[in-house]
Structure 1
Amino acid sequence: MKNQVHIDVLFMIAFATSAHSIVSKTISPRDDSSLVLDLPTISPVSLGLPTITPVSLSLPSVSIPTVSIPSVSLDLPEQCTPTIEPDKNGYIPAGECGANWNYSPSFPAALVFTLLFLITLIIHIIQATVYKNTYCWVVCMAATWELIAYISRALGSRNQQSLALATVSQITVLVSPVWVHAFAYMVFARIVHIYSSTGKVWFFTATTLAMIFVTLDIIAFFVQLIGGGMAGPGSDAETAKRGLNIYMTGIGVQEAFVVAFSLLIVKFVREKIETERRGNLGRGVGWRRLVYALCACLVFISVRIVFRLVEFSGGMGMDNKVPYNEKLFYAFEAVRMLLAIVVWNAVHPTDHSWGRVEIATELAWREVVQLSRTKGQESWEEAGR
């Protein structure tokens, strides 16, 4: 039994010694922190596994084009640098940076025309109220726009650096004649309706006349408004030039309408004189006074239009003296517009002193003429039977 124990002990010592020998041969320390086991390499074939051949993929090369972002530039108008100090009223000579007027506006002149247009406006309002004439609001609008123009001009003469005052004054002066034209067209339509034996001029009825010419006048109004706005103070040279061309087109077309309208007036007058010569209608003077006032109004406006065409056709350069002369402005713009409006104060379309008496007389004669024509037609038909 003891011998068996000794044999077992010897066997364990021998096994430990051989195990130590094997481990010491297969394990070698590389560093202080890790050990590398030198294990035998096992081939896949020896294990009976299939050999996997590596596959190489050939992908096409992708080229990304370079994206170029264009530079963005804002085409802003050049801002000038003031070189002249404004005076106490803000005046800067025309053509210099910061000049909103072509001259230093006269405060006394602007104040005088402000009062004159205010007076004619008040009279027109009173006349329209007394005579219960609703369509006279059109001529009241003309006087109102002129009043606004010269109030702005008077204020602007004391504050010439105010772009708003200069713009309002210029635009209202340029487009206010449109209201006078519209009123003239409406007055003539009523003259034709009341005093013509047929109620027509050529084949145009009074309603058609008013509708056509007032519509054309509205078109001319918007053309002038666009042009006047583009050519207002503060606009650059190129924009102002385009604006002036548009405005001149508007007033040129407007004058063409006035010429065509004048031909209709001539036609009406000739027919009316011929009818009176034959004694078919009463010889009242009411229509004559209205036609005289109408012609005077159109002449004043036409002179003003010609002045504006001459003024702007020469450009706004310093070589053109017309836009830089305030006396010419008052003589051919302010005075002409004042007369074109005041003439309707002097000869109002519905004045009780002659208007309604003449209207009644002419309407009575028209009924007689119409009745005679009807009787004559019946007589011819009776004779034919």
Structure 2
Amino acid sequence: MQEIIPRSYTFWYYVPSLPAAVIFMLIFMALTGLHSWKLFTTRTWFCIAFTLGGLFEIIGYIGRAVAHSNTTTMGPYIVSSIFVLLGPTLFAASIYMTLGRLIRYIGAEHLSFIRVSRLTKTFVWGDVLSFIVQGNSSSLSILGYPQWAKVAVVGGLAIQLISFSLFWLTAIIFERRVRRQPTPESLLPGTLWKKSLYMLYAVSALIMIRSIFRVIEYVMGNSGYPLQHEWTLYIFDSVPMAIVMVIFFIWYPSELKARPDFEAHVPLAHVYSKV
């Protein structure tokens, strides 16, 4: 028979900290506000998923704040778990699209390990799959299948880790090829493609660390240390994701736009003389 979760079931092995939840809710509100301003002023529309990821984080920590005095209520637990879990998946979508834009920006499509026309689609579809699989964990919990919900979360996080590993491999191979065979666009003064690439390395590494922590957390289960101690969530999830938003904002990829007037305004002989 289907397991029925009793009304008095406690979803938390601790009382969620109200101050911590409010502090991170305010941090993500501020960061999401900054990203929204950046998004609309620069019209960098491929970063809209990143901003939505910040909104998910805000909703998740509102759920944790409400759960402080409602530890036996399913609603705040589901809202907190699913929105904090899925926020980084939306960050990843914009991160993947940024690499494709960067490659086109310096005219290095021929140096990409994966054909650029397929690169963004490949990683974003993997991200969508991860989002769907992890998102279904909440419905499985509500229906009384906590074990299947756990499998869904771990499966979704595993897909995310595989995607980021391939993303790193693609980016590293691309960088090495560009250094060996620089394109004229990559040699232009003021071109920030290297900083943008290093930014992608940094934010993707932080999300990978967070995803590894989440996999460990769910694999260890309710009796494991992470799910029984709240500080682990804030140190290995909340803080890294806030740093991701800060880094992405500072090195916002708004400059990664096409340069249709490149050949008309830049003498190629001058560029090639620097090779």
Shorter-chain TM band: 0.7 to 0.9
1:116 alignment partner in structure 2: 27
2:166 alignment partner in structure 1: 260
CA distance 1:117–1:362, shift in 2 (3 Å): farther
Structure with the largest fraction of helix: 2
Distance, in Å, in 1 between the alignment partners of 2:10 and 2:154 is: 23
2:273 alignment partner in structure 1: none
Higher-Rg structure is 1
Amino acid corresponding to residue 203 of structure 2 in structure 1: C
**Structure 2 SS opposite 1:158:** coil
2:246 alignment partner in structure 1: 342
Native 8 Å contact 1:304 1:336 kept in 2? yes
Identity value in percent: 23
Native 8 Å contact 2:67 2:76 kept in 1? yes
Native 8 Å contact 1:197 1:366 kept in 2? no
RMSD of the TM alignment (CA)?
2.9
1:223 alignment partner in structure 2: 133
Post-superposition shift, 1:179? Answer: 0.4
TM, length-normalised to structure 1 = 0.64
Post-superposition shift, 1:160? Answer: 2.5
Distance, in Å, in 1 between the alignment partners of 2:50 and 2:143 is: 31
Post-superposition shift, 1:102? Answer: 2.4
Post-superposition shift, 1:76? Answer: 5.1
Q: How does 1:260-299 map to 2 (within 5 A)?
A: 260-276=166-182, 281-282=187-188, 284-299=190-205
**Which of 57, 68, 75 is matched with 1:146 structurally?**
57
Amino acid corresponding to residue 225 of structure 2 in structure 1: K
Distance, in Å, in 2 between the alignment partners of 1:201 and 1:362 is: 23
Post-superposition shift, 1:105? Answer: 0.3
CA distance 1:104–1:199, shift in 2 (3 Å): same
User: Is structure 2 residue 221 aligned with structure 1 residue 310?
Assistant: no
Q: How does 1:17-96 map to 2 (within 5 A)?
A: 75=1, 77-78=3-4, 80=6
Distance, in Å, in 2 between the alignment partners of 1:279 and 1:122 is: 33
Once the two structures are superposed, residues 6-49 of structure 1 have per-residue CA deviations (whole angstroms, 9 ceiling, x without a partner) of xxxxxxxxxxxxxxxxxxxxxxxxxxxxxxxxxxxxxxxxxxxx
TM, length-normalised to structure 2 = 0.87
CA distance 1:251–1:78, shift in 2 (3 Å): closer
**Which of 121, 125, 139 is matched with 2:36 structurally?**
125
Once the two structures are superposed, residues 181-205 of structure 1 have per-residue CA deviations (whole angstroms, 9 ceiling, x without a partner) of 1010010010011114345503512
**Structure 1 SS opposite 2:104:** helix
Native 8 Å contact 1:194 1:362 kept in 2? no
Once the two structures are superposed, residues 40-61 of structure 1 have per-residue CA deviations (whole angstroms, 9 ceiling, x without a partner) of xxxxxxxxxxxxxxxxxxxxxx
**Which of 66, 75, 87 is matched with 1:176 structurally?**
87
CA distance 1:208–1:115, shift in 2 (3 Å): same
Whose relative contact order is higher, 1 or 2, with alpha carbons under 8 Å and at least 6 apart?
2
Unaligned runs of 5+ in 2: 269-275
1:163 alignment partner in structure 2: 74
Distance, in Å, in 1 between the alignment partners of 2:184 and 2:37 is: 39
Distance, in Å, in 1 between the alignment partners of 2:185 and 2:84 is: 46
Native 8 Å contact 2:36 2:51 kept in 1? yes
Native 8 Å contact 2:109 2:115 kept in 1? no
